[in-house]
Amino acid sequence: MPFVNWLKRHLVVIAGLLTLAYLLLPNVVVTVFSFNKPKGRFNYEWQQFSTDAWKDPCGVADLCGSLSISLQIAFWATLGATLLGTLIAFALVRYRFRARGAVNSLIFLPMAMPEVVMAASLLTLFLNLGAQLGFWTILIAHIMFCLSFVVTAVKARVMSMDPRLEQAAQDLYAGPVQTFLRVTLPIAAPGIAAGALLAFALSFDDFIITNFNAGSTVTFPMFVWGSAQRGTPVQINVIGTAMFLLAVLFVLTSMVVGSRRSRKTS
Amino acid sequence: MTTLTEAPPPLAPAASEPKPQRRRGRWTPYWLLLPGILWLLVFFALPMIYQASTSVQTGSLEEGYKVTWHFATYWDALSEYWPQFLRSVAYAAAATVLCLVLGYPLAYLIAFRAGRWRNLIMILVIAPFFTSFLIRTLAWKTILADGGPVVGALNTLHVLDVTNWLGWTAGDRVLATPLAVVCGLTYNFLPFMILPLYTSLERIDGRLHEAAGDLYARPVTTFRKVTFPLSMPGVVSGTLLTFIPAAGDYVNAELLGSTDTRMIGNVIQTQFLRILDYPTAAALSFILMAAILLMVTFYIRGSGTEDLV
Amino acid sequence: MKTTSSGGDVRLTGISKTYGSFTAVHPLDLTVPQGSFFALLGASGCGKTTTLRMIAGLEEPSSGTVHLGEQDVTALPPYKRPVNTVFQSYALFPHLDIFENVAFGLRRRGIRSVKKQVEDMLELVQLGEQARKKPHQLSGGQQQRVAVARALINHPKVLLLDEPLGALDLKLRRQMQLELKRIQTEVGITFVHVTHDQEEAMTMADTIAVMNAGRVEQLGSPTDLYENPRTTFVANFLGTSNFIEAEIDSKSGDEIVLKAGGGKLVLSEARCGAPAPTGGRVLVGVRPEKISLTHADDAGEIPEGRNRITGKIADSSFIGVSTQYVVDSPVCSDFEVYAQNIDRDPRLVPGAEVVLHWNPAHTFGLDASQDAEAGVEEAA
């Protein structure tokens, strides 16, 4: 029974590809429906092909404004979380100190906590302090929950780094600052970049924590949430599709550049 | 003459290879930790304390709240919202199991069978992250739409009859049923299962499969006795990364469910942002946190991978 | 940060290192003469690497001082010491190409035009072609040479080598031993070489310090250490030694006459490293290759004046250049004998009764109170 044997041998591959299809199906729908011309306020049923939304992505009130706020917050949150997280990661890997266990737990807990719990407790704090909810409270919250992820990513990289490399740099007349800039940082860079990318994605896409602490500020996910109640403009799908394509393009380019660079040196 | 050893020299014991540590660097780690840890203490730990305090306060929005050690709030909250708690745990557990069943083959495929397609598949797993998860969740509304092709197919195959009987769906609808919510949760947290699984599978030496085969293990046995046990760290962290956010999620229940599928996250959100009953919301959130930490602790102990953290 | 190669010896005075309750290096005085090839030899964990790292400044001594020539460098951080290190497993910077790896030290000292120097240095280690490759694209032997070049280009007063050949296979290691020796002769810089491989140390070094458990057991030239070990550890760690415990019978002139299991042995007093009162006990040592093996039937043909003991061949293995015998004798249960394969006596097979005999001048005497097996395990 050649077919049964073939099926047996490739069962994992088939199952895996089905899962991949499950993962990608919504993106296909989002893309297809970005060319829809819905009848009512909601873009859930296919009507007819149109490129109207693509021609005018900012044609809906507040959409591009919210997108811009999300990008700004994601940018600053990435910067803040990457900076603070990298420092923590270096301290954890490179030094012994008291309270190491406590620090590790404090890093781990935000990742093991449902978002809604963090969101609610942070709001309690802001309410108690009488803080004005808005851009700054969102940014604070985003840095908080991105921090642990950056620490984890950078830590993994720095841990796999041979401590002899830094000793070699010192041995070759590089002082502490030079050693850090010339050796430690470049070698840790991929870990830091991975952490930063993760932070950006997490921040840009966050809804639950933002929703609690945003006040009247509307980020892109909050705009989408609101429109799910009031009516979904096609432009949402346009933005979603564009972000997806940009991400794929970005990764592909960096991969091509990376492989070309390594080919050039070999 | 003694024979020369061909093997590399044994590693020096740990004592002879310590990290360079100079007196003057004694305070360096604390300076490095200070800003980040301070941030977490003020905006993560301190809020927990505020929340604990709020949960035992009484009062009203107009008159303000005072700590009165009113623990009855916990009791009231639990007795009123225990169905939502149970539902959250059940939905999250179902989604976690589904994620494991669906995610494992894909992680395995990427780790061992993808060859030169490996990077492309990885990108395809990660890239959807960049389309807002809310937009993607809304897409499920289209996919599972009443009378749509998916529901039609399930109907023709009499799958809906089974799920109706189980109480997962109602009539010839999938939307606004538990099935839709679990489907959405599974979809949303699947990458969080696949990535740790892939990481731990990728570390497995391919020769172990050959060694197992050489020692008379059939492929299924090899998987059961070698591959799966070695991927346990990935299974544990994957299930945690799926279960925890799923249990606290309210987006899927709100967008794909109905009032009958409300999870505890929905309740906390409503109490906090609409009803403005802060003590009840804080108590609920505190119970959720405690329940999850408890479950996670037992789970990690039970699976014997404490070094995970 | 002086780059001049004039400058003097490395002097360690009372230097020690403790970690908590563990003493890695006991207070130690050591002088490495300028321009010499000096080896610190010992098993792993004996404190040799710690000693090296204290010279480099990568480890702070718990006590004592490090001098380079006249300069006390004890308090200087590594980047201010005119000393460079070839690290175990090389520690080449993975993000820099070979050229930049080699140029690293020069650039850190603010030297702008490094091209000529780097190219010359790469030529010296025969890697001129590989300048633009990344470290991971090179073979182990090439990486090793880059590590040497990266250190040497700075013209350090001392070059420290921490098990530099440990990661190479046997053949390449042999080749690199000669190569390093050539480079050292060419540049004339003091090399301090840490190794656990006694053959490597003997091939390359002018002077060897054998370390054991944080102490220097013996210091000397390879020949001196091999011929006149002062402890059983040195005798066993460098090569193989046979030991017979013997009683001092009498002295005649500068010769000591010993009794061992009914037989008589002679030991030159000058080669006895222990006090030798009549009636006292010493360990009599002899190297396996110094011993001749004669079948018991021909015992009469052995010349007078040689030390001799009798025994029975327990085992023999042919290894090409020589045949190694293990002989069971009343005074020592497994006596090792290496015989050159020149005229092989076909009667010398396991079970044969034999006489072992050797020139008394090749005998050395050691204090009988120590463990005759010390260092055997570590040398394996």
d(CA C66, nearest CA chain A) in Å: 16
Chain C residues in contact with B20 (beta carbon < 8 A):
58-59
C83 near A CB under 8 A: yes
CB pairs under 8 A between A and C: 73
Ranges for all domains in chain C classified under CATH 2.40.50.100: 240-379
Residue B17 has pLDDT above 50, yes or no: no
Q: Which of A10, A11, A23, A232 to probe the B interface (max B CBs under 10 A)?
A: A23
The string of pLDDT tens digits covering residues A227-243 is 988 888 999 999 999 99
Do B13 and C59 count as a contact with CB atoms less than 8 A apart?
no
Name the residue type at position C272.
Answer: C
Yes or no: say if C118 and C103 are a contact pair by the CB < 8 Å rule: yes
- How many other CB atoms are there within 10 angstroms of residue C335's CB atom? 24
Percent of residues, chain C, with pLDDT higher than 90: 53
- How many other CB atoms are there within 10 angstroms of residue A105's CB atom? 12
Which of B208-217, B254-263, C68-77, C141-150 comes out lowest in average pLDDT? B208-217
Domain C240-379 sits in CATH at 2.40.50.100
Query: In what side-by-side order are the strands of the sheet with C364-367?
Result: C263-268, C255-260, C242-252, C281-286, C364-367
List the one residue out of B247, B140, B94, B125 whose CA is nearest residue B190: B125
- Report the residue from B44, B241, B309 with minimal CB separation from A118: B44
Query: SS3 of B114, please?
Result: coil
The CB-side HSE value for A91 (13 A sphere, CA atoms) comes to 27
Do B282 and A117 count as a contact with CB atoms less than 8 A apart?
no
Does residue B291 lie in a domain region? yes
Does residue B288 lie in a domain region? yes
Query: What is the secondary structure of B184-224 as a DSSP string?
Result: HHHHHHHHHHHHHHHHHHHTS-HHHHHHHHHTT--HHHHII
List, in sequence order, every residue forming a beta bridge with C190; answer none if it has no partner: C158
Does residue B244 lie in a domain region? yes
To the question of pTM greater than 0.95 for the whole model, the response is no
Q: What is the pLDDT of residue A34?
A: 92
CA dihedral A149→A153→A154→A156, nearest 10 degrees, is: 130
Confidence of residue C41 (pLDDT cuts 50, 70, 90): very high
Beta strand C292-295 with C307-318 is: unpaired
Do A162 and C91 count as a contact with CB atoms less than 8 A apart?
yes
List the one residue out of C19, C6, A252 whose CA is nearest residue B120: A252
Does residue B298 lie in a domain region? yes
Alpha helices, DSSP H, located in chain A: 2-9, 11-33, 52-55, 63-94, 100-108, 115-129, 135-159, 163-171, 176-179, 185-205, 208-213, 220-230, 234-265
CA–CA separation, B306 vs B227, rounded Å? 20
- How many other CB atoms are there within 10 angstroms of residue B203's CB atom? 12
d(CA C249, nearest CA chain B) in Å: 32
Which of C6-10, C54-58, C234-238 comes out lowest in average pLDDT? C6-10
Do C97 and A187 count as a contact with CB atoms less than 8 A apart?
no
CA–CA separation, B1 vs C380, rounded Å? 10
- Report the residue from B2, B12, B23 with minimal CB separation from C44: B12
Chain C residues in contact with B11 (beta carbon < 8 A):
44
- Of all residues in chain A, the one with the smallest CA distance to B141 is A44
- Report the residue from C22, C49, C170 with minimal CB separation from B12: C49
Extract the tokens encoding C140.
């182990």
Chain B residues in contact with C44 (beta carbon < 8 A):
9-13, 16
Chain C residues in contact with A172 (beta carbon < 8 A):
79, 84, 104-105, 108, 150-151, 154
Yes or no: say if C309 and C260 are a contact pair by the CB < 8 Å rule: yes
Yes or no: say if B271 and B262 are a contact pair by the CB < 8 Å rule: no
C50 near B CB under 8 A: yes
Chain B residues in contact with A5 (beta carbon < 8 A):
none
Q: What is the pLDDT of residue C379?
A: 65
Do B2 and C380 count as a contact with CB atoms less than 8 A apart?
yes
C140 near B CB under 8 A: no
Does residue B236 lie in a domain region? yes
Do B36 and A211 count as a contact with CB atoms less than 8 A apart?
no
DSSP H or E stretch at residue C108: helix C98-108
The string of pLDDT tens digits covering residues A242-252 is 999 998 888 88
User: Which residue matches tokens 């803040």?
Assistant: A80
- Structural domain count, chain B: 1
Do A187 and C79 count as a contact with CB atoms less than 8 A apart?
no
Residue C259: DSSP 8-state: E
- Please report all neighbours of C, defined by 3+ CB atom pairs within 8 A: A, B
The string of pLDDT tens digits covering residues C339-367 is 988 888 889 999 999 999 999 999 999 98
User: Which residue matches tokens 């604390």?
Assistant: B30
Does residue B118 lie in a domain region? yes
Report the interhelical angle of B28-40 vs A135-159 (nearest 10°).
140
Q: Which CATH superfamily is domain C10-232 in?
A: P-loop containing nucleotide triphosphate hydrolases (3.40.50.300)
Q: Which of B4, B6, B16, B17 to probe the C interface (max C CBs under 10 A)?
A: B16
C33 near B CB under 8 A: no
CA–CA separation, B13 vs C44, rounded Å? 8
List the one residue out of C127, C136, C122 whose CA is nearest residue C90: C136
CA–CA separation, C150 vs C118, rounded Å? 9
Do B248 and A115 count as a contact with CB atoms less than 8 A apart?
yes
- Let me know how long chain B is: 309
Domain carrying residue B290: 86-303
Confidence of residue B11 (pLDDT cuts 50, 70, 90): very low
> Is the reported ipTM for this assembly greater than 0.95?
no
Chain A residues in contact with C89 (beta carbon < 8 A):
162, 164
C170 near B CB under 8 A: yes
Chain B residues in contact with C198 (beta carbon < 8 A):
2
CA–CA separation, C281 vs C273, rounded Å? 12
Q: What is the pLDDT of residue C380?
A: 54
d(CA A33, nearest CA chain C) in Å: 46
Average pLDDT over residues B264-274: 91
CA–CA separation, C223 vs C201, rounded Å? 11
List the one residue out of B15, A167, B8 whose CA is nearest residue C46: B15
Do C239 and B5 count as a contact with CB atoms less than 8 A apart?
no
Do C239 and B1 count as a contact with CB atoms less than 8 A apart?
yes
Yes or no: say if C214 and C26 are a contact pair by the CB < 8 Å rule: yes
- Please report all neighbours of B, defined by 3+ CB atom pairs within 8 A: A, C
Do C44 and B17 count as a contact with CB atoms less than 8 A apart?
no
CA–CA separation, C104 vs B94, rounded Å? 57
Q: Which of A116, A164, A246 to probe the B interface (max B CBs under 10 A)?
A: A116
Does residue B3 lie in a domain region? no
> Which domain CATH number covers B140?
1.10.3720.10
Under 8 Å CB-to-CB from B97, ≥6 apart: which residues? Answer: none
Residue B218 has pLDDT above 80, yes or no: yes
Do B33 and A88 count as a contact with CB atoms less than 8 A apart?
yes
Do C84 and A266 count as a contact with CB atoms less than 8 A apart?
no
List, in sequence order, every residue forming a beta bridge with C323; answer none if it has no partner: C318, C339
Confidence of residue A263 (pLDDT cuts 50, 70, 90): low
d(CA B309, nearest CA chain C) in Å: 29
Beta strand C207-212 with C215-220 is: antiparallel
Extract the tokens encoding B20.
């360079």
CA distances for C62 relative to B55, B216, C18, C23, C344, angstroms: 56, 57, 6, 10, 57
Does residue B73 lie in a domain region? no
A171 near C CB under 8 A: yes
Beta strand C207-212 with C37-41 is: parallel
Do C137 and A175 count as a contact with CB atoms less than 8 A apart?
no
Do C170 and B4 count as a contact with CB atoms less than 8 A apart?
yes
Residue B21 has pLDDT above 80, yes or no: no
- Of all residues in chain A, the one with the smallest CA distance to C111 is A173
- Report the residue from B4, B6, B10 with minimal CB separation from C44: B10
User: Which residue matches tokens 């706020």?
Assistant: A69
CA distances for C157 relative to A211, B77, C74, C150, C341, angstroms: 65, 76, 15, 14, 46
Percent of residues, chain C, with pLDDT higher than 70: 98
C159 near A CB under 8 A: no
C119 near B CB under 8 A: no
A187 near C CB under 8 A: yes
Ranges for all domains in chain C classified under CATH 3.40.50.300: 10-232
The string of pLDDT tens digits covering residues A201-229 is 899 999 999 999 998 999 999 999 999 88
Confidence of residue B222 (pLDDT cuts 50, 70, 90): confident
- Report the residue from C49, C167, C197 with minimal CB separation from B16: C49
Confidence of residue B57 (pLDDT cuts 50, 70, 90): confident
d(CA C377, nearest CA chain A) in Å: 29
Query: What is the secondary structure of B14-37 as a DSSP string?
Result: GGGSPPP--GGGTTHHHHHHHHHH
The string of pLDDT tens digits covering residues A97-148 is 888 889 999 998 998 899 999 999 999 999 889 899 999 999 999 999 999 9
Chain B residues in contact with C239 (beta carbon < 8 A):
1-2
